[in-house]
């Protein structure tokens, strides 16, 4: 069987001197018709650049192919070296033979064109269809990607759709021409885990239907298991391992592959929860949250608000000293708002937050998701670390500097970092810096808002280990906000699951993750990708998140809890 795509010794560079700044350094692979190849790697591995080189979109991103061949076999059997092809030829190949979908469904759709126009354009370009024929096809395409009310959605603009819907539109557009090759560049990274499962299911189904080949690019080796036939592992522009799915996942040859497989947090349904901690019966909680509500008025301005977004409603939980309570949920669940309300960054509309502190003035500190955004780029490390101390009325002197240095060493940063600036550190190092800063005031509680989500998996694993060490050494309580079940399993003593602004299930980690009782918790856990599930079918499910916007004066009923085990409670839903 001849290859559909044969890439040999591909080298791609950037900038004035592409040969000196190579990001992809000699990549080779073959792809048979109908086959799915997954390219796995961390940021900077060159996986996306490799894909963008195949359809030569890399030319527009400042990249140049310095050497190598990309031989593509067209439907009529003729071959074409895409690395040498003229732009005019490439325009004919793109969309028609090779389609692509991207990571950010929000920014990847043109904001001033309706969804229908954009899909119809794909049909016009690939099939030469015009006017009504193209729109009719656009409508059928939306049906194909299981978008309800297709006729109505065609007239919508991208900003009116949810992230998952937008990615479906992208897929509908890419598949307009029934391409022979679809390249998917991290298509689910920006999406919630249950939506991710839906998109993965859709891709698998459509691939079978059309019989196209696929290049699936991801940083998440767990996702690969569900869809790929073969796997390519890349590190710093080089392929370190390639082979059939089972071989690579079960018998990794290269150290890096092994490292990736080990570093990626595997979700094991509560079997890998921490065994330390758990003296909660003896101590009083340090933070007690009771019936917390945070609402944002909608339609504000000159007129009185018509209603409010009930971002958080009726949330209760306790946090004991030295324990980790993880709050899990998807975007819009209210988990970050809860964290921010705890620190007073958003005002609470109702409820109480009581903190029983023995140490400082500010016993709760926070570490944010994005280490790039939470460090002022114009201040050096000394000024960054000194800020909490200055705010607490301390002076910057030798004693304080010694404390900074010892904290830096403790979080694994060089002692001489004080005069450096944030941009001189890597993402993981910056997050360590943020952790050190949060510890400057000797807090008792640290709120970690998706604190490891922006990091590469291997970095993520090390930061998680650091957090667990620090928790033991300093006797910290963590409120760990995350969307990632596998990460939560590693660090949490207790877990609270949030959905649509409320906690639906709360309890001991092993119980909640191992024997989930609420239907949403089950759905969330079922959606977690894992290297253990090969070619698993996800069923399509179009359940919508209920609207958080409630009319003025609306007061939700208080949650009714059912105890299903020692320290394991589930919210009773009115309709099962």
Determine, following the binding rule CB under 8 A, whether residue 426 of this chain makes contact with another protein: no
Please state the closest distance from residue 224 (CB atom) to another protein, in A. 23
| The dihedral sign for the CA sequence 367, 370, 371, 377 | negative
Q: Among 388, 501, 507, 516, which residue sits at the site for another protein (rule: CB under 8 A)?
A: 388
Determine, following the binding rule CB under 8 A, whether residue 108 of this chain makes contact with another protein: yes
Element of type H or E holding 406: helix 398-410
Q: Among 99, 233, 491, 504, which residue sits at the site for another protein (rule: CB under 8 A)?
A: 99
Q: Among 3, 32, 57, 564, which residue sits at the site for another protein (rule: CB under 8 A)?
A: 57
Please state the closest distance from residue 102 (CB atom) to another protein, in A. 6
Neighbour tally for 50: CB within 10 Å: 28
Choose between 378 and 397: whose C-beta lies nearer to another protein.
Answer: 378
| Closest C-alpha among 519, 523, 528 to residue 489 | 528
Q: Among 147, 173, 418, 476, which residue sits at the site for another protein (rule: CB under 8 A)?
A: 173
Determine, following the binding rule CB under 8 A, whether residue 378 of this chain makes contact with another protein: yes
Q: Which stretch binds another protein (CB under 8 A): 363-371, 469-477, 487-495, 551-559?
A: 363-371
Binding mask 245-264 for another protein (x = CB under 8 A): --------------------
3-state secondary structure of 469: helix
Determine, following the binding rule CB under 8 A, whether residue 368 of this chain makes contact with another protein: yes
Cα 371 from Cα 426, distance rounded (Å): 9
Determine, following the binding rule CB under 8 A, whether residue 387 of this chain makes contact with another protein: yes
Determine, following the binding rule CB under 8 A, whether residue 109 of this chain makes contact with another protein: yes
Q: Among 1, 75, 358, 361, which residue sits at the site for another protein (rule: CB under 8 A)?
A: 361
Burial class (CB in 10 A: 0-12, 13-18, 19+), 357: middle
Determine, following the binding rule CB under 8 A, whether residue 496 of this chain makes contact with another protein: no
| Closest C-alpha among 342, 428, 420, 426 to residue 385 | 420
| Closest C-alpha among 480, 473, 472 to residue 498 | 480
Determine, following the binding rule CB under 8 A, whether residue 370 of this chain makes contact with another protein: yes
Q: Which stretch binds another protein (CB under 8 A): 54-62, 66-74, 399-407, 454-462?
A: 54-62
Neighbour tally for 397: CB within 10 Å: 9
Count of chain residues binding another protein (CB under 8 A): 66
The β-bridge relationship of strands 568-571 and 502-508 is antiparallel
Please state the closest distance from residue 337 (CB atom) to another protein, in A. 13
Instruction: List C-alpha distances in Å: 36 to 124, 215, 231.
Output: 27, 6, 9
Greatest Cα-to-Cα distance within the chain, rounded to the nearest angstrom: 77
The answer to whether 123 and 137 are in contact (CB under 8 A) is yes
Q: Which stretch binds another protein (CB under 8 A): 192-200, 286-294, 356-364, 510-518?
A: 356-364
In the 8-state DSSP scheme, what is residue 191?
Answer: S
Binding mask 299-328 for another protein (x = CB under 8 A): x-xx--------------------------
Cα 187 from Cα 189, distance rounded (Å): 6
Q: Which stretch binds another protein (CB under 8 A): 60-68, 266-274, 405-413, 477-485?
A: 60-68
3-state secondary structure of 5: strand
User: Which ranges of 76-130 would DSSP assign to H, the alpha helix?
Assistant: 87-93, 115-127
Contact residues: another protein, CB under 8 A = 55, 57, 60-62, 87, 91-96, 99-100, 102, 104, 107-114, 121-122, 125-126, 157, 159-160, 170, 173-174, 176, 299, 301-302, 340, 343-345, 361-362, 364-366, 368-370, 373-379, 383, 387-388, 390-392, 434, 437, 441
């Amino acid at each position: 069987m001849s290859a559909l795509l044969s890439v040999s010794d591909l080298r791609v560079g950037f900038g004035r001197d592409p040969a000196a700044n190579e990001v992809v350094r000699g990549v080779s692979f073959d792809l048979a018709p109908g086959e799915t190849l997954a390219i796995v790697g961390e940021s900077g591995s060159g996986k996306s650049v490799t894909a963008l080189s195949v359809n030569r979109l890399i030319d527009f991103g400042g990249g140049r192919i310095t050497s190598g061949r990309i031989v593509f076999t067209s439907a009529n059997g003729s071959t074409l070296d895409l690395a040498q092809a003229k732009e005019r030829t490439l325009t004919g190949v793109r969309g028609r033979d090779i389609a692509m979908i991207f990571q950010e469904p929000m920014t990847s759709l043109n904001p001033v064109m309706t969804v229908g126009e954009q899909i119809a354009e794909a049909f016009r370009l690939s099939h030469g269809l015009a006017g009504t024929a193209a729109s009719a096809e656009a409508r059928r395409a939306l049906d194909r990607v299981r978008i309800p009310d297709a006729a109505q959605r065609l007239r919508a603009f991208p900003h009116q759709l949810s992230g998952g819907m937008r990615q479906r539109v992208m897929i509908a557009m890419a598949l307009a021409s029934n391409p022979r090759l679809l390249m998917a560049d991290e298509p689910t990274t920006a999406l919630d885990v249950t939506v991710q499962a839906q998109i993965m299911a859709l891709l698998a189904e459509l691939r079978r239907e059309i019989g196209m080949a696929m290049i699936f690019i991801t940083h998440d080796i767990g996702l690969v298991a569900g869809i790929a036939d073969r796997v390519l592992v890349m590190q710093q522009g080089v392929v370190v391992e390639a082979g059939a799915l089972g071989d690579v996942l079960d018998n990794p040859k290269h150290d890096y592959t092994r490292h990736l497989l080990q570093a990626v947090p595997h979700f094991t349904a509560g079997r890998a929860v921490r065994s330390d901690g758990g003296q909660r019966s003896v101590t009083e909680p340090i933070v007690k949250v009771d019936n917390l509500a945070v609402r944002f008025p909608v339609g504000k301005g000159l007129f009185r608000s018509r209603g409010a977004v009930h971002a958080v409603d009726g949330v209760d939980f306790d946090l004991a000293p030295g324990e980790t309570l993880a709050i899990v949920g998807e975007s819009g669940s209210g988990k970050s708002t809860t964290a921010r309300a705890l620190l007073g960054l958003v005002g609470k509309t109702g409820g109480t937050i009581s903190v029983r502190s023995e140490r400082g003035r500010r016993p709760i500190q926070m570490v944010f998701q994005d280490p790039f955004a939470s460090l002022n780029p114009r201040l050096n490390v000394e000024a960054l670390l000194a800020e909490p101390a200055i705010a607490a009325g301390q002076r910057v002197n030798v004693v304080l500097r010694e404390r900074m240095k010892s904290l830096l060493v403790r979080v694994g940063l060089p002692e001489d970092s004080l005069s450096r600036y944030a941009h001189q550190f890597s993402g993981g190092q910056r997050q360590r810096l943020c952790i050190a800063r949060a510890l400057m005031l000797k807090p008792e509680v640290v709120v970690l808002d998706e604190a490891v989500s922006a990091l590469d998996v291997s970095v993520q694993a090390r930061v998680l280990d650091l957090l667990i060490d620090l928790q033991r050494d300093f006797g910290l309580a963590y409120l760990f906000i995350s969307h990632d079940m596998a990460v939560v399993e590693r660090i949490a003593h207790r877990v609270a699951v949030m959905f649509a602004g409320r906690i639906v299930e709360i309890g001991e980690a092993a119980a909640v993750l191992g024997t989930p009782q609420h239907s949403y918790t089950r759905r969330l856990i079922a959606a977690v990708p894992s290297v253990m599930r090969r070619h698993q079918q996800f069923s399509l499910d179009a359940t919508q998140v209920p609207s958080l916007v409630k009319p003025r004066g609306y007061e939700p009923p208080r949650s009714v809890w059912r105890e299903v085990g020692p320290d394991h409670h589930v919210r009773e839903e009115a309709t099962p």
